[in-house]
């Protein structure tokens, strides 16, 4: 049985149309995500197709005795226990390149929203106040943007930034040979990037090496006037570091977070009924909530991927992975 989690009715209809009938497999769709708390509902799954709010950890996997493969409709796989899957010979596949332009465009949506004071302007107009006082923004032209991570998304961010006439500093484990050749683009150590950038934007995966890559210590290197953008994964930025800097009057350029630590507590209604949350998780969620009302802070519900075109690519690639596994037991885009 193939079980799909976190699928809305429209997505279910699309998936039903994409799955080849020749395989004669049973398909089951759930709008909810899977966690250790409800994994018993999915115990018959031989292939599990999930999204980012599912938690396919060891406790969840222990309740899925027939599982042979996990296909996630995302690039990131931090919601899946890769090591446990490897141990039990469960294949894992992802969608590595559905939205390089999509997420990059959204990063600039956040940047422009903050740079041009869109949030306070809209709030003011909704109250019937029509004036420009306090709404002075700043140009992107000539500013320096620091791009952390220059994979498919980060590279597209660099292209957009050059279109705005920005100076670009990059930091990544591996330099992109094509980006190195470009004018106004330079790879630098992380500390240099933080010191010199007017805007810092993150485009890296979540793994042990990137946990709190931006933290209470190195965030002090950023200019008081700087802007911080995160459309990657929540735990690559320490939420306490952001709160502290805002309270000190820094990060004056604004903070745009499409993802942040403990965001699931906000996004998933079922978490309101979950009495297993740690005090630390609740504290992080409340810290994010505490900055929401700031005029120079924009939070969004992990929405960067959410366009018609990107969703079509996600579903199509996921189905290609499923077809390949049903056909020959392998995935087109395997993680392990």
Active site residues per annotation: 233, 268, 302
Q: Give me the half-sphere count of Cα atoms (radius 13 Å) on the Cβ side of residue 98.
A: 24
Tell the residue number behind the tokens 């930091």, with chain if given: 171
Tell the residue number behind the tokens 């056909």, with chain if given: 327
How do beta strands 91-93 and 144-148 pair? unpaired
Structure tokens at 254: 């604004």
Question: How far lies 290's CA from each of 242, 243, 268, 284, 285, in Å?
Answer: 11, 8, 19, 10, 9
Question: How far lies 189's CA from each of 34, 147, 181, in Å?
Answer: 39, 11, 18
Tell the residue number behind the tokens 């630390």, with chain if given: 280
Structure tokens at 52: 């980012």
Question: How far lies 260's CA from each of 8, 16, 223, 242, in Å?
Answer: 23, 33, 21, 11
DSSP state of 157: H
- Collect all residues with Cβ–Cβ distance below 8 Å to 79 and sequence separation of at least 6: 50, 52, 53, 54, 55, 56, 72
Residues forming beta bridges with residue 170, ordered by sequence position: 147, 187
Where are the strands (E) in 16-121, listed by range? 27-29, 47-50, 69-72, 91-93
Find, among 146, 152, 280, the residue nearest to 205 by Cα: 152
Report yes or no: 267 and 53 within 8 Å, Cβ to Cβ: yes
Question: How far lies 245's CA from each of 111, 113, 239, in Å?
Answer: 18, 20, 10
């Amino acid at each position: 049985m193939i079980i799909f989690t976190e699928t809305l009715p429209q997505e279910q209809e699309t998936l039903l149309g994409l799955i080849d009938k020749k395989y004669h497999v049973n398909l089951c769709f759930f709008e909810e995500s899977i966690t250790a708390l409800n994994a018993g509902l999915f115990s018959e799954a031989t292939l599990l197709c999930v999204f980012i709010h599912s938690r396919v950890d060891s406790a969840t996997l222990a309740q899925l005795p027939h599982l042979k493969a996990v296909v996630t409709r995302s690039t990131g796989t931090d919601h899946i226990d890769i090591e446990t899957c490897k141990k039990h010979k469960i294949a894992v596949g992802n969608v590595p390149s559905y939205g390089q332009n999509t997420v990059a465009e959204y990063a600039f949506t956040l940047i422009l929203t903050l740079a041009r004071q869109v949030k306070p302007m809209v709030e003011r107009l909704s109250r019937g106040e029509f004036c420009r006082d306090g709404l002075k923004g700043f140009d992107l032209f000539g500013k320096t943007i620091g791009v952390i991570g220059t994979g498919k998304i980060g590279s597209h961010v660099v292209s957009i930034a050059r279109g705005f006439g920005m100076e670009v500093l990059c930091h990544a484990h591996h330099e992109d040979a094509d980006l190195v050749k470009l004018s106004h683009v330079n790879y630098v150590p992380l500390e240099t990037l933080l010191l010199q950038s007017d805007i810092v934007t993150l485009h890296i995966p979540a793994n042990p090496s990137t946990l709190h890559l931006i933290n209470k210590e190195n965030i002090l290197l950023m200019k008081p006037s700087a802007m911080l953008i995160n459309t990657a994964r929540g735990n690559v930025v320490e939420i306490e570091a952001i709160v502290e800097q805002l309270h000190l009057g820094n990060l004056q350029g604004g903070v745009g977070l499409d993802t942040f630590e403990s965001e699931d507590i906000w996004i998933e209604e079922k978490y309101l009924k979950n009495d297993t949350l740690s005090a630390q998780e609740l504290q992080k969620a409340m810290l994010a909530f505490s900055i929401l009302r700031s005029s120079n802070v924009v939070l969004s519900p992990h929405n960067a991927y959410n366009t018609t075109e990107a969703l079509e690519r996600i579903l199509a690639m996921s189905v290609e992975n499923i077809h390949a596994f049903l056909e020959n037991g392998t995935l087109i885009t395997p993680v392990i």
